């Protein structure tokens, strides 16, 4: 198809008119958000500005109404950024994430909070918890499970000795690439650095393409990307953010063994999140070590037709809690049927802690 100059000019004129309209509307929306902030502060001087349930509702509504031709995810991402900028007008949001810069956790933080949030890398998962608990940041982002490699046990363990709540979740498709620096001798790669989980997620690909290269586990894939800058015979497995941050080239793209490889991250904070209409609840339950304990624990969920989305067992670190189960299920603690199940579970367990109810990840 060829555009005549006349057509192109008139189309661009139309685009300019539409941009004027979009500009006017976004500014009016931002004004509204500022007024929302005033209303919130008037009713409560210690008001919480970020409202995960409302954000989830806004994004779901946009996805439902989207007439195309942009796909719904793309459209929601645009609105994600508009809301992020509006929230920054109300109050700049500080978010700690498991660093260093360039990790998938940073990507998850940006996906969830948008580019207007101020994100700060932390060296370890418990540091993210500590920063949130100390009030040095508003929220934290930590990985919790990967579709190929399973649970991130460090995150679950951190909840056991913390008063932190879960305020949200975000799922990220994980694409790994084999990266080299411009000084790397590509046919002499004898060492591949990455996080142990990433090495495991690319095991078959490495067996097929670099069977003799030494696989070196390091603390994060961003750290792997940083290290190979000074080693001419080494490559790193990492994602797009790390590749961009360290100016590396992709020798091979999307080398993860499973194409549906994804990681779920949790947003942690101190607020109770009201119902959004499509929510999940996470609890941790301690049971006595006796036959049938797991059956007793799960039976009320089955009877009340509550969908379990995840069940994880962790060894207890105190003598009192023999078995500790992390359970995620559909529903919100403010729903009567969920409250009823929790009441029954409390009678059967030696300890129950509700980690939080939060909107099912939208993007
Ligand atoms: O509705 C609110 O409470 C707002 O603050 C407005 C708004 C938005 O831009 O839509 C902004 C931030 C909140 O996290 C949720 C929504």
Predicted confidence (pLDDT) per residue in 144-190, tens digit:
998 766 778 889 989 988 999 999 999 999 999 999 999 999 999 99
Q: What is the full DSSP assignment across 91-135?
A: -PPEEEEESSTTSHHHHHHHHHH-TTSEEEEESSHHHHHHHHHHT
Q: Supply 36's token pair.
A: 């929302």
Q: What's the CA gap between 47 and 41, in Å, rounded?
A: 6
Question: 334 C-alpha to center of ligand 1: Å?
Answer: 21
If you count them, how many residues does the chain have? 363
What is the rounded average pLDDT for all residues in the chain?
93
Of the two residues 335 and 2, the one the predictor is more confident about is 335
The preferred substitution site among 25, 28, 32, 83 for testing ligand 1, maximizing ligand atoms within 8 Å of CB, is 83
**pLDDT surpasses 80 at 225:** yes
Q: What's the CA gap between 205 and 186, in Å, rounded?
A: 17
Q: Calculate the alpha carbon distances from 37 to 34, 101, 276 in Å.
A: 5, 31, 20
**pLDDT surpasses 80 at 13:** yes
Summarize pLDDT for 206-220 with one digit per residue, the tens. 999 999 999 999 988
Asked if 265 is an active-site residue, the reply is: yes
Q: What's the CA gap between 22 and 297, in Å, rounded?
A: 53
The preferred substitution site among 25, 55, 82 for testing ligand 1, maximizing ligand atoms within 8 Å of CB, is 55
Residue that the structure tokens 């004004």 belong to: 31
Q: Any residues with Cβ below 6 Å from ligand 1, and which? A: 33, 36, 49-51, 54-55, 58, 83, 86-87, 90
Q: Which of the 8 DSSP states describes residue 230?
A: G
Residues 147 and 263: beta-carbon distance below 8 Å: yes
pLDDT above 90: percentage of residues in the chain: 82
Name the catalytic one among 105, 148, 184, 263. 263
Q: Supply 297's token pair.
A: 């624990």
**pLDDT surpasses 80 at 289:** no
ipTM: 0.99
Residues 119 and 236: beta-carbon distance below 8 Å: no
Question: 67 C-alpha to center of ligand 1: Å?
Answer: 23
Q: What's the CA gap between 193 and 232, in Å, rounded?
A: 13
Summarize pLDDT for 38-57 with one digit per residue, the tens. 999 998 888 899 999 999 99
Ligand 1 atom closest to 32 (CA) = 6
Look at residue 319 in the predicted model and tell me its pLDDT: 61
* CB neighbours of residue 332 within 10 Å: 21
Band of residue 250 on the pLDDT scale cut at 50, 70, 90: very high
Residue that the structure tokens 């540091």 belong to: 127
Summarize pLDDT for 330-345 with one digit per residue, the tens. 999 999 999 999 999 9
Mean pLDDT computed over 126-149: 92
Residues 299 and 274: beta-carbon distance below 8 Å: no
Would you say the pTM of this structure is higher than 0.80? yes
Mean pLDDT computed over 240-259: 94
* CA atoms lying within 13 Å on the CB side of residue 237: 30
Nearest to 238 by CA among 172, 178, 148: 178
Strands 351-359 and 177-180: unpaired
Instruction: Name the residue with the closest Cα to ligand 1, atom 6.
Output: 33
Band of residue 321 on the pLDDT scale cut at 50, 70, 90: low
Ligand 1 atom closest to 90 (CA) = 5
Q: Calculate the alpha carbon distances from 222 to 171, 204, 250, 306 in Å.
A: 19, 22, 14, 39
Question: 224 C-alpha to center of ligand 1: Å?
Answer: 38
Picking from 25-39, 101-115, 141-155, 226-240, which range would have the lowest pLDDT averaged per residue? Answer: 141-155
Give, for 286, the enclosing helix (H) or strand (E).
Answer: strand 279-287
Instruction: Name the residue with the closest Cα to ligand 1, atom 8.
Output: 83
Of the two residues 73 and 147, the one the predictor is more confident about is 73
Look at residue 290 in the predicted model and tell me its pLDDT: 79
**pLDDT surpasses 60 at 320:** no
Asked if 129 is an active-site residue, the reply is: no
Instruction: Name the residue with the closest Cα to ligand 1, atom 3.
Output: 51
């Amino acid at each position: 198809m060829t555009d005549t100059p006349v057509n192109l000019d008139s189309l661009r004129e139309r685009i300019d008119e539409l941009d004027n309209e979009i500009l006017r509307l976004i500014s009016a929306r931002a004004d509204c958000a500022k007024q929302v902030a005033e209303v919130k502060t008037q009713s409560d001087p210690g008001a919480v500005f970020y409202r995960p349930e409302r954000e989830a509702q806004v994004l779901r509504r946009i996805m439902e109404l989207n007439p195309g031709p942009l796909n719904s995810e793309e459209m929601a991402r645009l609105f994600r950024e508009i809301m992020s900028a509006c929230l920054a007008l109300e109050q700049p949001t500080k978010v700690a994430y498991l660093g260093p810069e360039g990790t998938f956790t940073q990507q998850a933080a940006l996906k969830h909070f948008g580019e207007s949030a101020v994100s700060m890398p932390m060296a370890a998962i418990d540091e993210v918890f500590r920063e949130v608990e100390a009030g040095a940041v508003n929220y934290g982002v930590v990985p919790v499970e990967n579709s190929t490699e399973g649970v991130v046990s460090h995150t679950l363990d951190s909840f056991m000795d913390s008063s932190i709540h879960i305020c949200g979740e975000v799922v990220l498709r994980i694409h790994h690439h084999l990266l080299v620096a411009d000084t790397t001798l590509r046919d002499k790669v004898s060492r591949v650095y990455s996080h142990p989980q990433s090495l495991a997620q690319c095991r078959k690909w490495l067996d097929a393409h670099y069977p003799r290269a030494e696989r070196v586990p390091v603390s994060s894939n961003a750290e792997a990307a940083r290290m190979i800058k000074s080693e001419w015979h080494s490559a790193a497995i990492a994602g797009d953010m790390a590749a961009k941050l360290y100016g590396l080239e992709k020798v091979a793209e999307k080398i993860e063994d499973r194409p549906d490889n994804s990681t779920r991250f949790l947003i942690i904070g101190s607020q109770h999140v009201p119902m959004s209409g499509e929510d999940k609840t996470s609890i941790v339950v301690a049971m006595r070590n006796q036959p049938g304990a797991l059956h007793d624990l799960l039976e009320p969920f089955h009877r009340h037709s509550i969908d379990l989305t995840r069940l994880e067992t962790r060894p207890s670190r105190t003598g009192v809690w023999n078995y500790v189960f992390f359970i995620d299920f559909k529903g919100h603690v403010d729903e009567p049927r969920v409250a009823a199940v929790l009441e029954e579970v409390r009678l059967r367990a030696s300890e129950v802690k509700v980690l939080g109810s939060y909107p099912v990840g939208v993007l």
